[in-house]
Structure 1
Amino acid sequence: MARPRKPLLSRERIVTVALALVDSEGLTAVSTRRLAAELGVSGPSLYNHFTTKDEILDAVADTVIAQVDISMFEGGEDWRTALLEWGRSYRAALTAHPHIVPFLAQGPGRRPAGLRMADAVFGGMVKAGWPPAHATRIGALMRYFVAGSALGSFARGFVNDAGAYDPADYPHLGQAHLLAGHQEQVDEGAFETGLRALVAGLDQLYGEDAR
């Protein structure tokens, strides 16, 4: 019986394994040597598909951004609804892969999915009536807000130990040790509150310009 063939090395397979490494161990775990070992190939064979480690990370980052829904900017939705829906989808993609967020924070560079997202958001906001300068700032503002919220958990930042919060020192943190047990409620609620406040604030301050 013939032995099963080893799957052919491809860009997609390299990116899939690299993303799994980033998710499980962080950005520093990704090296050409480690990837080659995980893929069961020789190191030089990776260079048939990528010339540098940063090219691999670019492809990983773009794979994550490709998961973000941007259709609301092309479907004629009200700009307020579009920002809310996009912000939620954007954060969902980043929180699923939080270790790639610092790399994504550098901006889209030449990454196709990142550029498509920037183009859709900018184009959608300008089409809604926002001046180009404001549309640019709104895109930047949303990126700062979403990326920051995906970097870590506020709730998990408090230890589950009531003794760590002596009321003599921290009179208002008597329930802080319970936060970690309500991570989703706290973190998701905080993001939703901030997102709605951000969009409402834009509408109140500048909405007349976009109507």
Structure 2
Amino acid sequence: MARPRKPLLSRDRIVAAALALVDAEGLAALSTRRLAAELGVSGPSLYNHFATKDAILDAVADAVIGKVDVSMFSDGRGWRQALLDWGRSYRAALSEHPHIVPFLATGPGLRPAGLRMADAVFGGMVDAGWPPAHATRIGALMRYFVTGSALGSFAAGFVGDATAYDPADYPHLGQAHLLAQNRDRVDEGAFETGLRALLDGLALQYADARTDTRAHGQS
């Protein structure tokens, strides 16, 4: 029997095509009709693998989160270093696929990779001595910080025209036109500055949080 001319449809193939479409054109471009056309199949055939478009988006989002390294929460490197390394890995994954970030910002729901990440972060913080309530807040604040940093570029928000920012109106923005061309360096530096400041603040709270829990017998 001759082999089929096109690869058989599978969940992985659908997710890969959907992610490529979102990467190229944004979330609004994704529809089951458009996705089926990209795959060279009929629309209804997608429903053999996913019940709804949202189910496809869930799988796409989870595929992105599946790229985030969470091994640092179980290898003994310490809670601060673990958060630092995880934050960098998390941002790297989202930065590769910025158009999916608004959908990811809604939370993990029942997505397996997202739940595994949440479980690893929470477990790592509790094992390191953080009270459970604090561990929950730390996971939340890291998600806010990382997803916010991946939603857009601060530096790219400035135009590259040296005459755009009149010093009479903006006396401190004489070099602002250089930001966009140095986008990666500026944005990466801002992320690292913020991440380290966040961890410095948590370090100040760590001893107090443990002491308060022991004193009051609550989390």
* Alpha-carbon distance, 1:21 to partner: 0.5
> Are 2:39 and 1:60 equivalent residues in the alignment?
no
> Aligned letter for 2:41?
V
**Residues in 2 aligned to 1:180 and 1:44: alpha-carbon distance in whole angstroms:** 44
**Residues in 1 aligned to 2:207 and 2:114: alpha-carbon distance in whole angstroms:** 27
> Aligned letter for 1:195?
L
The unaligned stretches of length 5 or more in structure 1 are none
> Aligned letter for 1:129?
G
**Residues in 2 aligned to 1:108 and 1:207: alpha-carbon distance in whole angstroms:** 30
> Aligned letter for 1:93?
A
Assess if the C-alpha contact under 8 Å between 1:158 and 1:179 holds in 2.
Answer: yes
**Residues in 2 aligned to 1:143 and 1:207: alpha-carbon distance in whole angstroms:** 23
> Are 2:70 and 1:42 equivalent residues in the alignment?
no
* Alpha-carbon distance, 1:125 to partner: 0.1
The equivalent of 2:214 in structure 1 is none
Q: What TM-score, normalized to structure 2?
A: 0.93
The size of the alignment, in residue pairs, is: 211
| Residues 137-152 of structure 1: pairs in structure 2 closer than 5 A | 137-152=137-152
Q: Secondary structure at the match of 1:77?
A: coil
List 4+ stretches of structure 1 deviating above 6 A.
none
* Alpha-carbon distance, 1:138 to partner: 0.3
> Are 2:201 and 1:201 equivalent residues in the alignment?
yes
Q: What TM-score, normalized to structure 1?
A: 0.97
Cα distance per residue 1:99-143 (max 9 Å; x no partner): 000000000000000000000000000000000000000000000
> Are 2:73 and 1:76 equivalent residues in the alignment?
no
| Residues 32-181 of structure 1: pairs in structure 2 closer than 5 A | 32-181=32-181
% of aligned pairs identical? 80
Cα distance per residue 1:117-172 (max 9 Å; x no partner): 00000000000000000000000000000000001111110000111100000000
* Alpha-carbon distance, 1:210 to partner: 5.2
> Aligned letter for 1:5?
R
> Aligned letter for 2:8?
L
* Alpha-carbon distance, 1:208 to partner: 4.7
> Aligned letter for 1:119?
D
Q: Secondary structure at the match of 2:47?
A: helix
